[in-house]
Structure 1
Amino acid sequence: MNDRGFASDARLSRQVNLGRALALIRTRPFISQTEMAQELGLSKATVTDIVGALKRDGLLESVGRGEASPAGGRRPRLLRFNPGAAAIIGVELDMSGTKLALLDLGLNVLQRQSIPAPPKRDADAVLARLISGIRNCIDAHPPKAPPILGVGIGIPGAVDPESGVCLFAAKLGWRGVPVAEIVSRRCGLRTVVDSEVRNRAMAECSRGVAKGVRNMAYLQVAGGLGCALMVDGRMYRGATNRAGEVGHNPVVEGGPVCACGLKGCLQMLTSEQGVLPLLKARVEASKDTQLNPKKLTLQGLFDAATVGDPVALGMVNDIARHLGAGVARLINTIDPEMVVLGGRVFEAGHGLLLDNVRDAAQPLIFDRASRSVRIEASTLGADSGVMGAAAGVYQRLFEVPPAFL
């Protein structure tokens, strides 16, 4: 190997060590250089070099001294990750419009804006409005403020995260749209694109109820029913980036026709697009309800169920029963530590749904006595999508080697 080869190996080794150090530091409130050296298996000199580099980039800061060891000696200087060292733009595209937010590296929302959907939902029109919003965010960012590292985008459809191409988004009518390339070229920022449901799952693992969980399933119960799977700390995508289409599993013979062409799909019995038509038919056929068939909404359904409306209660119980069965199938198939439920339907009614979903799932879980799986509701609310989109960029920052250093 020539000298150039040795130099190249040394640079790669340093980048790998930087990535490992960043991954460790971001999981700790405080850490000393001695602890870093011990946990990373590196020499004190190497750790000193890493700490100096991360401090120069603003990613690490000193926060005083810790306790001395029982053997005595100097108290160690403590360090912590600095989430304010940079910012990320997080985006979630939807049929009703686009959510855009500026977040720090801790995924705290600093600014947010809503971008109305254009009259035409074609890619050119939607991305033109999105790019305008991103440019406005960049222009408003003070010159001396920490830099914006990149843009993360969530799309309701199948995405190739490596190329940033939207493979297919039925709700938007998109196929083969190079979203990352278009946004990156027009805005001058590194752009990471993924499906909205995987972004929301990423947010749960980064900041939500699933923080620290390595094996989990996230079910998004919204306009449709989507699922993201985290296996051994990595997002499972499948051979064609379409893993998690649990909503298109028929569960009721002769049920309502789904947009996919099948009948009785799980999403037609649990999601907004399926539940409201079913509810309308029940309301029209009943005299014992306060609901107006011409003014049905998700929130109205759960409000009516809360005060004991029999039609609303029956609908809510059916949603919980079908979701519980779907959750049990997931648990039996992938053996997760946790299943997290989120999305508009669950946000509107989780006070009524969560315990009922748990009760419906438990009898259907194989060998449940020996499992400790938890079924939880998302705690992140409406910002979950933009947080997850930013988390995709955040994760790239902590790749080995880091993508942005």
Structure 2
Amino acid sequence: MTSYVPEYLKAKNRKTVFDLFLRDPELSRAEIVQRTRMSFPTASKAVDFLISRGIVTEIGSEEPVGRPGRRRRSLRFNPSAYAALALNFEGRVLEVGLVDLAGQLLQYEQHAFDCFHQTENYAQLAPMLQAVVEKSPCHVLGVGIGMPADIDNNAETVALYYDRQEVVVPLKDLFGDLLQALQLQAFYGNDVNLACLGEASLRGGAGEKMNLCYLTLGTGFGAGIMNNGAIWLGGHGRAGEIGNTHLGAFDLKGPLQTQIEPLETRINLQALEKAFGINLLDDTVLPQDTQDQMVEFLLPALVTAVYNFSFLFDMDQFVMSGAIPNRLPGLAACTEREVNRLLAYRKRSVTISRPVSAHCTLIGAANAVFEGTILSELQG
């Protein structure tokens, strides 16, 4: 449970006001008070902090609308005050981004990199990443690192898999030399969790009422879950492993190991290639009837998963991303239709949309940096 000490509340109020500027880049103090329901002194302290750090600037004043009184000073969000370096390790590709406070990519690069081997030399990336930082037009606060792996930030470890065996590795063993070269504070996250955070940021900030489930369908099937504005990590950073859930009942009298069929064995690129002889990562044009057949193949397991998640997490906002929906653009709408047909008897419904950006993981990684540095400062 979070301790609501005064200093924590200060940082929380600053984040609330910051998220407000993500949605509306020009505001007055009075508008901030109205929208946040903070007291005027509390809102002003949060604003003054953001002004002192250059995140917000004063741009003049305006007459109060409809009544005499003090002139209201207008405020403008300055997204270029700071930036964050963001990395997304995915398969054999490293995505590199420099992201400003509004989630805009100032720089973007892709590099081949055979990641997640304990013998991989991550420090070799230092010269390339230093060049990105040096070209930044503003101060870089830190580096956010996204990985398709289970990360326990409390224990500072990452779970890697070799030949289906789990190996828990200290994060410093992988990235220690690189971070020493970069001289940047690092923030780590599972790639889908960071994508969920990035999506929420692009929707106007992860406010306290933001609830969102970010699904990714590709080589596996994963989910990032935001509950009341915070990513739900679970006890060991492994929440959201929707692909490891099992659909059917177990015969407890039979051999259990042979019965386990993770959901993602039915919802992934390999399953589609086995069923249709087509690798969706190829650039071949898919006829519409083939797309329709693939959607029908995926729907039973996918609809079941979303239906169950909607009840388990009381969730009605879903985002569907990844290589599979990228090649099957009708998948999200078909899934939404079928889930809602099942939910109708409970007078419930869900919406399933596509991501706001193709780079949500990078944006979420940068957001983790901002939240862990400038927006969490306890001074001032």
Between the aligned partners of 1:329 and 1:170, the Cα distance in structure 2 is 31
- Residue 107 of structure 2 corresponds to residue 111 of structure 1: yes
- 8 Å contact from structure 1 (residues 115, 129) kept in 2: no
Give identity over the alignment, percent: 20
State the Cα distance separating 1:76 from its structure 2 match.
0.8
Q: Which residue of 2 aligns with 1:283?
A: none
Structure 1 residues 261 and 18: alpha-carbon distance in aligned structure 2, compared to 1, 3 A threshold? same
- Residue 372 of structure 2 corresponds to residue 377 of structure 1: no
Q: After superposing the two structures, state which structure 1 stretch, 212-221 or 297-306, moved more.
A: 297-306
- 8 Å contact from structure 1 (residues 305, 316) kept in 2: no
* Structure 2 counterpart of 1:384, one-letter code: C
Alignment equivalent of 2:295, drawn from 309, 316, 327: 316
Structure 1 residues 251 and 52: alpha-carbon distance in aligned structure 2, compared to 1, 3 A threshold? closer
Q: Which residue of 2 aligns with 1:340?
A: 319
Partner SS for 1:365: helix
Q: Which residue of 1 aligns with 2:224?
A: 228
Partner SS for 1:148: strand
1:46-61 equivalence runs, <5 A: 51-61=47-57
Between the aligned partners of 1:121 and 1:16, the Cα distance in structure 2 is 38
1:86-165 equivalence runs, <5 A: 86-118=82-114, 121-125=116-120, 127-141=122-136, 145-162=137-154, 164-165=156-157
Alignment equivalent of 1:199, drawn from 194, 197, 204: 194
Structure 1 residues 171 and 185: alpha-carbon distance in aligned structure 2, compared to 1, 3 A threshold? farther
Between the aligned partners of 1:208 and 1:273, the Cα distance in structure 2 is 32
Unaligned runs of 5+ in 1: 1-11, 255-259, 281-295
Between the aligned partners of 1:51 and 1:233, the Cα distance in structure 2 is 21
Partner SS for 2:187: strand
* Structure 2 counterpart of 1:21, one-letter code: R
Between the aligned partners of 1:403 and 1:267, the Cα distance in structure 2 is 43
Alignment equivalent of 1:20, drawn from 7, 13, 18: 13
Between the aligned partners of 2:335 and 2:321, the Cα distance in structure 1 is 13
- 8 Å contact from structure 1 (residues 167, 175) kept in 2: yes
Q: Which residue of 2 aligns with 1:270?
A: 267
State the Cα distance separating 1:86 from its structure 2 match.
0.6
TM-score normalised by L of structure 2: 0.83
Q: Which residue of 2 aligns with 1:285?
A: none
Q: After superposing the two structures, state which structure 1 stretch, 98-107 or 70-79, moved more.
A: 70-79
- 8 Å contact from structure 2 (residues 244, 262) kept in 1: yes
Partner SS for 1:198: helix
State the Cα distance separating 1:201 from its structure 2 match.
0.7
1:21-36 equivalence runs, <5 A: 21-28=14-21, 29=24, 30-36=26-32
- Asked which structure has the greater CA Rg, the reply is 1
Between the aligned partners of 1:20 and 1:60, the Cα distance in structure 2 is 15
Unaligned runs of 5+ in 2: 251-256
Between the aligned partners of 2:323 and 2:264, the Cα distance in structure 1 is 13
- 8 Å contact from structure 1 (residues 115, 133) kept in 2: no
Q: Which residue of 1 aligns with 2:59?
A: 63
State the Cα distance separating 1:250 from its structure 2 match.
3.0
- Matched pairs, number: 362
Between the aligned partners of 2:61 and 2:362, the Cα distance in structure 1 is 36
- 8 Å contact from structure 1 (residues 65, 77) kept in 2: yes
Q: Give the alignment's Cα RMSD to 1 decimal.
A: 3.3
State the Cα distance separating 1:219 from its structure 2 match.
1.0
